[in-house]
């Protein structure tokens, strides 16, 4: 039964407070084991991936559209003004759901059975992480491995930018950055390090093995010198010489990831249905 709430400070809405305060949300979500999904489509995808709903905050206009997926979770109905007061911004998609986090599988589980994976090193922008998940899922990548310092894929902005693709591709987080590539290599993966350096072999011409891991570096500095050295091959996306002469010498990390994921799938086995749950 929906509960109507008129006060933005009502303690029942605590899961949804300060959604734009990154540090507050990091501590709150870690402490309570939750994340927030925004909008009907993303909430449905999260539920479909097996994430339990803790509570829902919505307005009257969006209540009926979510009725079939919420089960017995508490549903708090508020005005647009209270919604904005709680969240700290205007919620255009009309509904927020706090979801229980599931255990993140070990790296070995994500590597198991995959032939094409993406490995992210120290990407700290949540929007970029979400966008890369969306690219990788759309192009048939089997899984994503995160270095220890990568942004949380389940942070609200990551989930929102991914349009729920976070729930469509398995991922894991390394425990140890220094030796992290060794586990991937030991599982039989060829490691390709993407760099803007145009002197290395282009990604679209490199010879790929049956199992390939594409390494993508951080937004500013790219891959660390250690990972560049340890990779089996450094590869680049060929830039236009005219653009290079004009000073355009690189792509942003999301554009590079989209092109590279497309190139990564060259020669991959036909895609098969993959689980969307993190169980």
Domains of the chain, start order: 3-100 (3.30.1330.30), 107-264 (3.40.1280.10)
Residues with Cβ within 8 Å of 221's Cβ and at least 6 positions away in sequence, in order, are: none
Q: 159-194: per-residue pLDDT in tens?
A: 999 999 999 999 999 999 999 999 999 999 999 999
Q: In DSSP terms, which residues pair with 36 in a beta bridge?
A: 98
Spacing of C-alpha 204 from chain mean position: 25
Q: Burial, 243: exposed, middle or buried (Cβ in 10 Å; 0-12, 13-18, 19+)?
A: exposed
What does the radius of gyration of the chain's CA atoms come to, in whole angstroms?
Answer: 20
Instruction: Check pLDDT > 70 for residue 276.
Output: no
Q: What pLDDT, on the 0 to 100 scale, is given for residue 270?
A: 54
Once rounded to an integer, what is the mean pLDDT over residues 231-247?
92
- 209 confidence band (pLDDT: 50, 70, 90): very high
What whole-number distance in Å separates Cα of residue 63 and Cα of residue 94?
9
Closest CA to 261 of 117, 163, 111: 117
Compute φ and ψ for 172, nearest 5 degrees: -145, 165
Instruction: Check pLDDT > 60 for residue 277.
Output: no
Kindly report which listed range (17-31, 126-140, 242-256) carries the lowest average pLDDT score. 17-31
Q: 116-139: per-residue pLDDT in tens?
A: 999 999 999 999 999 999 999 999
Considering only residues 63 and 216, tell me which one the structure prediction assigns the higher pLDDT.
216
Instruction: Check pLDDT > 70 for residue 272.
Output: no
What whole-number distance in Å separates Cα of residue 198 and Cα of residue 244?
10
Q: Which two tokens stand for residue 163?
A: 């349009």
Instruction: Check pLDDT > 90 for residue 17.
Output: no
Q: 76-122: per-residue pLDDT in tens?
A: 999 989 988 888 777 767 799 999 999 999 999 999 989 999 999 99
Could you tell me if 231 and 121 are in contact, meaning their C-beta atoms sit under 8 angstroms apart? no
What whole-number distance in Å separates Cα of residue 46 and Cα of residue 48?
5
The mean pLDDT of the chain is 90
Q: Which two tokens stand for residue 149?
A: 């310092």
Q: What pLDDT, on the 0 to 100 scale, is given for residue 107?
A: 97
Closest CA to 38 of 191, 206, 162: 162
């Amino acid at each position: 039964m929906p509960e109507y709430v008129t006060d933005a400070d009502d303690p029942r809405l605590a899961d949804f407070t300060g959604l734009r305060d990154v540090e507050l949300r990091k501590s709150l979500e870690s402490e309570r084991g939750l994340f927030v999904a925004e909008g009907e489509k993303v909430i449905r995808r999260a539920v479909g991936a097996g994430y339990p709903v803790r509570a829902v905050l919505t307005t009257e206009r969006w209540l009926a559209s979510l009725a079939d997926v919420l089960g017995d979770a508490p549903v708090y109905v508020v005005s647009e003004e209270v919604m904005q007061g709680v969240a700290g911004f205007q919620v255009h998609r009309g509904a927020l759901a706090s979801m229980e986090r599931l255990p993140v599988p070990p790296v070995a589980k994500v590597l198991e059975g995959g032939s094409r994976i993406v490995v992210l090193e120290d990407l700290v922008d949540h929007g970029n992480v979400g966008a890369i998940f969306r690219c990788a899922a759309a192009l048939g990548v089997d899984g994503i491995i995160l270095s220890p310092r990568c942004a949380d894929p389940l942070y609200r902005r990551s989930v929102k930018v991914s349009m729920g693709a976070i729930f469509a591709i398995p991922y894991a987080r390394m425990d140890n950055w220094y030796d992290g590539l060794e586990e991937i290599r030991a599982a039989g993966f060829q490691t390709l390090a993407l760099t803007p350096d145009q002197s290395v072999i282009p990604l679209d011409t490199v010879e790929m093995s049956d199992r390939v891991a594409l390494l993508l570096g951080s937004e500013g500095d790219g891959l660390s010198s250690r990972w560049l050295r340890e990779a089996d091959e450094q590869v680049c996306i060929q830039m236009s010489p005219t653009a290079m002469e004009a000073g355009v010498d690189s792509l942003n990390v999301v554009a590079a990831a989209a092109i590279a994921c497309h190139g990564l799938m060259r020669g991959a086995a036909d895609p098969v249905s993959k689980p969307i749950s993190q169980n």
